[in-house]
Amino acid sequence: MYKYLQNRFALSEQGAKDFVRGSLYCALADISLMVPLGLVVLLLDALLKPILGVPTGQPPDLLLYTVLALLILGFMFVCHWYQYTSVYVSTYRESATRRISLAEKLRHLPLSYFGEKDLSDLTNTIMGDCATLETAFSHAIPQMVGASISTILVGIGLLVFDWKMGVALLWVAPVALAIIVGSKKIQEKGIQTHYDAKRACADRIQECLETVQDIKAYNQEEAYLVGLDQKLDEAERLQISSEFTTGIFVKSAEMVLKLGLATVILVGSSLLVSGQTDLLVFLIFLIAASRIYDPLTGILANIAEIIHTDVPINRMNEIMRHPVQEGATEYSTDGYDIVFDHVGFSYNEGETVLNDVSFTAKQGEVTALVGPSGGGKSTATKLAARFWDPNRGTITLGGVDISTVDPEALLRNYAIVFQDVVLFNDTVMENIRLGRRDATDDEVKAAAQAAMCDEFVSRLPQGYQTIIGENGSTLSGGERQRISIARALLKDAPVVLLDEATASLDVENETKIQSAISQLIRDKTVLIIAHRMRTVANADTIVVLDGGYVAQQGTSDELLKEGGLYKHMVSLQRQSMDWSI
């Protein structure tokens, strides 16, 4: 049962156990609300007997009934106290566990997964969907299960007490339930459509925030906001439509429940007139009707709430069930040569990015990947770090197939600087220290100096303790890239991957950083991507990728003598250097 609950409601093992316990306490709390009915029956019985001419030994003891009433109130308080603590406290604890589990799962997923998703969608799953389930599990689902259990138990008791009156009271429950359950697919369709519209709206808002500079630069604020308003209006319309659809079915089911009181009155009056029941039984069922329909109404509303949670639960389960990249956490290499052996790769089926690529990046040498845009250079470096796994062929590090190594364990040996720099809203010091968390301040500053960061850090208000904003928003592109290079230098890993690492630097700083990198990459395996031919001219090996194939390999001098694509690219860059306005 616990396994089913874990899969059905995206719960942890402890969460499933807490859910069962909370549901039982909800049932007990609902039953406690029916206990006063027994006391009322006893009191009515004592009061009606003299009126109906039934001899009694003595008048009802009001003190006894008062004491019983106080005991019942105490029992109700205890039941509701345990219900509250078991449902709400465990729900919020499970919500924290759920968010952490999702974050941990995302941390282990291959980057190919993130290529299929967008940031706002994943953020909404962790924050919005988790909040939705938090509300459902604190206010709806355990209460529904508890109400169902208590209603069934009370219903069985009423049927045993008087089956005719019991049927008159309870026949509406399965009919109302059928209305809600029968409309599930219609409700789910509306809910899914609303979720899709919300996601499109969130994507549009995030896009607006990320591209606001370009929107303003081209005076497109008004046109863009018109499109955003349309997305917002569509999301609002579909939300109203979804809630209206759910409301129709829930209210229709509640209307059916109201018929139960009418049938109790009609059937009870008929049985009372015919002498098949007595006034006390009639009154008992009237009182029961006024009480039992409240939890039934709650059940119907909460079933609709459960239907609403199906979409976020499915989204979470899709993340949690996605296969992760696994491998050995401990491994030993014979050096750090990176070997591509007939590697083929495609992001999407039928769209080949690399095709039968073979080359070796040797330790102690610089291997440069060059070629036209879209040739597969960045993809090759990401495959080398196991951000993705190749579809065909193998990639080895020091003779070890990297597909057999845990990605986090593998990346301990890599220092990476990609073209798209990622910085954090923290100090310069801590952004660089990310390369090696136990590095001293002096070591961080040494790496920063080697990456030519001192020049601009000295101008910042608090120097290395200056907060640089979200993704380094207060810095220029070149400054951000130099911090990223300093981070990689600080890590001092045996494998260095540089993807357009100097693209945002001026010629003077590029030359200085190349000199610093040359001193610090001694005896390391270096794989570098650059579009400037002067950047890779001194590389030990140049691999020319074109259309996913290895077009040429060799040193710069060898490739220039050979002719072909590399020589053509060098010639074009020389021509562009002579261009002037």
What letter does residue 560 receive in the DSSP assignment?
Answer: H
pLDDT of residue 50: 61
pLDDT tens digit sequence for 25-39: 888 888 888 788 777
Instruction: Map 494-521 to HEC letters.
Output: CEEEEECCCCCCCHHHHHHHHHHHHHHC
Residue with tokens 């697919």: 185
pLDDT digits (tens, 9 = 90+) for 562-580: 888 888 888 877 776 666 5
**CA gyration radius, the chain:** 35
pLDDT value, residue 519: 62
Q: Which two tokens stand for residue 335?
A: 């050096």
pLDDT at position 502 is 65
Report in angstroms the alpha-carbon separations of 187 from 134, 304, 305: 21, 8, 10
Closest CA to 403 of 311, 326, 494, 479: 326
pTM: 0.69
* Strands ordered across the beta sheet of 338-348: 351-361, 338-348, 392-397, 400-401
Taking the C-alpha atoms of residue 472 and residue 481, their distance in angstroms, rounded to an integer, is: 10
CA 269 distance to own-chain centroid: 58
Among 275, 65, 286, 51, smallest CA distance to 168 is for 286
Q: How far is CA 188 from CA 91, 194, 200, 307, in A?
A: 24, 10, 18, 7
Beta bridge partner(s), residue 1: none
Contact 92, 134 (CB under 8 A): yes
| Whether the predicted pLDDT of 54 surpasses 60 | no
Query: For 277-290, what is each residue's pLDDT tens digit?
Result: 877 788 888 878 87
Q: Is the pLDDT of residue 393 over 90?
A: yes
List C-alpha distances in Å: 321 to 106, 367, 573: 11, 38, 49
- pLDDT (tens digit per residue) in 170-197: 898 889 888 888 888 888 888 888 888 8
- CA-CA distance, 186 to 235, in Å (whole number)? 18
Q: Beta strands 541-546 and 549-554: pairing type?
A: antiparallel
Q: CA-CA distance, 539 to 528, in Å (whole number)?
A: 9
C-beta separation of 260 from 175 below 8 A: no
In this structure, the dihedral spanned by the alpha carbons of residues 233, 235, 236 and 239, taken in order and rounded to 10 degrees, is 160
Q: CB neighbours (10 Å) of residue 423?
A: 22
Beta bridge partners of 527: 367, 497
- Range with the poorest average pLDDT among 252-266, 339-353, 493-507: 493-507
CA distance 550 to 533: 17
Q: Which residues pair with 544 in a beta bridge?
A: 370, 552
DSSP structure class, residue 127: I
Domains along the sequence of the chain with CATH: 2-320 (1.20.1560.10), 327-405+527-581 (3.40.50.300)
Q: H helices of 321-343, where?
A: none
User: Does residue 577 contact residue 534 with C-beta atoms inside 8 Å?
Assistant: no
Residue range 513-524: average pLDDT?
69
State percent of the chain over pLDDT 70.
91
Q: Is 530 helix (H, G, I), strand (E, B) or coil?
A: coil
Closest CA to 79 of 156, 148, 150: 150
Smallest CA-to-CA distance from 309 within 102, 107, 85, 142 is with 142
Q: Is the dihedral of CA 430, 433, 437, 442 positive or negative?
A: negative
Per-residue pLDDT tens digits for 426-435? 999 999 999 8
- Whether pLDDT at 361 is above 90: yes
Q: How many CA atoms lie within 13 A of 77 on its CB side?
A: 6
Segment 214-231 shows an average pLDDT of 86
* 235, 247, 355 from 239: Cα distances, Å: 6, 12, 47
